[in-house]
Amino acid sequence: MSVLEEVMSDRGAAHDVTRNPIDEVMARRLSCREFTGTPVSRTTVEQILRVARFAPSGANIQPWHVYVLAGAAKTEVSAAILRAFESEPNEHVSEYQYYASEFPEPYLGRRQEFGRLYYNSLGIAQSDTAARSRQTAKNFTFFGASVGLIVTIDRRLAVGSWLDLGMFIQNVMLAAVGRGLQSCPQETFAKYHRILRPLLSIPAEQMVACGISLGHPREQPKARLMPRADLEAFASFKGFED
């Protein structure tokens, strides 16, 4: 059964929805954490970004900026952040708060389930802090992907522009899948904005939002690791006659 068939079969959805290529692309997107390192051409990345720019944007503000890294430039960024991660573990924080200070249910349970499933899939005990740290460090090598993206947003804009940015990032990831690639969005790069700023000549008005690993996945998973809530858990319907 394909990933799409798995998704569509939930509670009989396959009987109601016609398969189409867009569904296939969305269903096959995942956060890949192991890449082959096979090069991705600049032309391919340019194609991805050119189509991603058509993401919805309120008042056509288009608040995003992308720094595309490969080769020696990517290696330099990775080395600098890894040094900071290892020698200054508590001195780098994001300029925005990604997670809530406290999680109510069902979000707390979902986050705990994520940790359990993720580390179990890697054979790492949640109590093994050294192994967890080594796994976290792989973020900063872009999980071996040949291309790394650093995404910024203008700090002078309001929260609505972050919605636009999220849709742009999603477009980047979907466009990658359409070209046989995968990606991984990584908020953790935002913590190292003080290191990234001089290396990439990021102007003061830009805030580092995240990084994205982009490349060829080492293998295509047969099933999703992380479950998603059923439709009934997040959607309310009114006024339909059927």
The yes/no answer on whether domain 31-100+137-219 falls in CATH 3.40.109.10 is yes
Contact indicator for 132, 126 with CB cutoff of 8 Å: yes
Token pair for residue 89? 């573990």
Helix H or strand E segment including 80: helix 71-87
Section 108-127 average pLDDT? 94
User: Is pLDDT at 71 greater than 60 in this prediction?
Assistant: yes
CA-to-CA separations, 115 to 46, 52, 83, 129, in angstroms, rounded: 34, 30, 25, 13
User: Is pLDDT at 13 greater than 60 in this prediction?
Assistant: no
The 10s digit of each residue's pLDDT in 126-184 is: 899 999 999 999 999 999 999 999 999 999 999 999 999 999 999 999 999 999 999 99
What is the amino acid identity at position 115? G
What is the rounded distance in angstroms from the CA atom of residue 128 to the CA atom of residue 139? 18
Contacts of 211 (CB under 8 A, 6+ apart): 139, 142, 148, 149, 150, 151, 185, 186, 188, 189, 190
What is the rounded distance in angstroms from the CA atom of residue 55 to the CA atom of residue 96? 23
Instruction: Note the pTM of the prediction, 2 decimals.
Output: 0.91
Task: Parse the chain into domains and list their residue ranges.
Answer: 1-30, 31-100+137-219
